[in-house]
Structure 1
Amino acid sequence: MLTVETRHAIDPATAKGLDTAGLRSHFHADGLFADGEIRLVYTHYDRLVLGGAVPAGGSLVLDHVKECGTPSILDRREMGILNIGESGTVSAGGTDYTVNKGDVLYLGMGSGPVTLSGGGRFYILSAPAHRSCPSRLIRIEDARRVEMGSAETSNERVILQFLHPEVAESCQLLMGYTQFAPGSVWNTMPAHLHDRRMEAYLYFELDADQRVFHFMGQPDETRHLVMANEDVVISPPWSIHCGAGTGAYTFCWAMAGDNVDFTDMDMVAMGDLR
């Protein structure tokens, strides 16, 4: 079963007038991981598609998505798939990939229909592509590790980069995830902007009662969204994106836009946040 929800892009002036329900309707997505289903969100921010697929021991096929306007979703797109569940299998382009928990599979443009099976809990990201890059399975041990922060500032973490120019070639999709040490909760602070690229965060490995307060908005007009386990926030290019949780957690970040320069960001001074 496939369901697709469309999210239209809005400008920062409009966002200022939204209440909590309005903010969540535009920028928050939950319930993406349902047994036996593929649930996608088609965003108008750089046309990023995100969602979840849970085969639950069976098989699910991701092929035609009307919103993409092509016979098959990967005809003019690339895709990154992160498994946050048990080991599963993804088949595409005539190859079967065994994707373990924490691995990321990259599928290049033209890879054809995608079949997901087994016990995986697959987080799917797809961006438009103008060229085909080689499909590749990136194991955790093959990711680029960047250790940052400290216990003293409550942000000791390791950034695992998968779809990154120094790890695996992609057309425009950047993807990885960040894991926090026990006692650390702050991500991406000081905050930054990159108006050239949108971003999306999947928060996962949270306990049932745990929450992350995700901050968004322009630097002088910040707002927040309360995120539970396996919730996604869609971050428009004009918005900051950072958060703090009630305990350690993991979040998957993904970007699409003009470039694949992970360090292309405009920092925001702490004193400029309002």
Structure 2
Amino acid sequence: MLRTETRHAIDPATAKTLDTDQLRDHFHVAGLFADGEINLVYSHYDRLILGSAVPAGKALTLDKVEATGTATILERREMGVLNIGDTGTVSVGGEDYELETGEVLYIGMGAGPVTFAGAGRFYVLSAPAHQTYPTTLIKLKDARRVEMGARETANERVIIQFLHPEVCKSCQLLMGYTQFAEGSVWNTMPAHLHDRRMEAYLYFQLPENQRVFHLMGEPSQTRHIVMANEEAVISPPWSIHAGAGTSSYTFCWAMAGDNVDFTDMDMVAMGDLR
């Protein structure tokens, strides 16, 4: 079963006027991972698609998506797939790729239908592309690891980069995830902006009774959205994207926009946040 939802872009002036429910309607994504379903959200921010596929014992094929207006989803797009479940298989272009927990598959433009099988819980991201790069399975040992933060500031973490110029070529999609050490809870602080591209977060490996308070909005007009395990949030180019949890957690970050320079960001001083 395929379910698709569209989220339209709004400007920061409008975002200032939204109450909690309205903020969640525009930016919060819940209920993604459902057994036997493919669920997609088509965002008008840089036309990023985020979603999930949970085979749960039967194969699921992702092919035509009405929102893209093409014969198959990858006709003019690329895709990244992260497995946050047990071992699963992704089949594309006549090849089967076995993904262990925490591994990522990059799928290039024009690869055709994508089939998900096995015990995986697949997080799916797709962005428009103008060039084809080879479909590549990226094992954990091949990802780029960047250790940052400190226990004293409650942000000791490792950034694991998969779709990154130094790991795997892509057209515009950047993707990886950040894992926190026990007792560390703050992400992406001091905050930053990158007006040249949007971002999406998936929070996972968060205990059921814990939450992450995701911070968004312009630096002078911050808002928060309360996130549970395996929920996603869409971050517009004009918004900060940071947060703190009631326990440690992991989040998958993905970006689409004008460039693939991971460090292209405009820092926000702590004293400028409101």
Give the TM-score band, short-chain normalised. Answer: over 0.9
Partner in structure 1 of residue 193 of structure 2: 193
Q: In structure 2, how many angstroms separate the alpha carbons of the residues matched to 1:71 and 1:140?
A: 33
Counterpart Cα distance in 2 of 1:269 and 1:27: 24
TM-score of the pair, normalised by structure 1 = 1.00
* Structure 1 segments unaligned to the other structure (5+ residues): none
Aligned mates of 2:50, 2:140 — CA distance in 1: 21
What amino acid sits opposite 1:43 in the alignment? S
What secondary structure sits across from 1:75 in the alignment?
Answer: coil
Residue identity opposite 2:32 in structure 1: L
State whether structure 2 residue 233 is matched by structure 1 residue 233.
yes
**Secondary structure of 2:26's match?**
helix
Question: What SS class does the counterpart of residue 51 from structure 1 fall into?
Answer: strand
The offset of 1:261, in angstroms, is: 0.3
Alignment of 1:150-165 (within 5 A): 150-165=150-165
The 3-state SS of whatever aligns with 1:220 is coil
- Matched residue, 1:52: 52
Report matched runs for 1:254-273 at 5 Å: 254-273=254-273
Q: For residue 246 of structure 2, what is the aligned residue in structure 1?
A: 246
Q: Aligned equivalents of 1:30 and 1:262: distance in 2? A: 27
Alpha-carbon displacement from aligned partner over 1:151-188 (angstroms, at most 9, x marks no partner): 00000000000000000000000000000000000000
The equivalences for 1:39-188 within 5 A come to 39-188=39-188
In structure 1, what is the equivalent of residue 17 of structure 2? 17
Count, aligned residues: 274
Identity of aligned residues (%): 76
Give the match's secondary structure for 1:132.
coil
Deviations 1:50-79 (A, max 9, x none): 001100011000000000010000000000
Q: Distance in 2 between matches of 1:135 and 1:208?
A: 34
TM-score by length of 2: 1.00
Matched AA of 1:160: I
Q: Which runs of 4+ in 1 moved over 4 A?
A: none
Secondary structure of the corresponding residue to residue 47 of structure 1: coil
State the match for 1:34 in structure 2: 34
CA offsets 1:247-272 (integer angstroms, 9 cap, x no match)? 10000000000000000000000000
Aligned: 1:210 with 2:173: no
Query: What secondary structure sits across from 1:115 in the alignment?
Result: strand
C-alpha RMSD of the superposition: 0.3
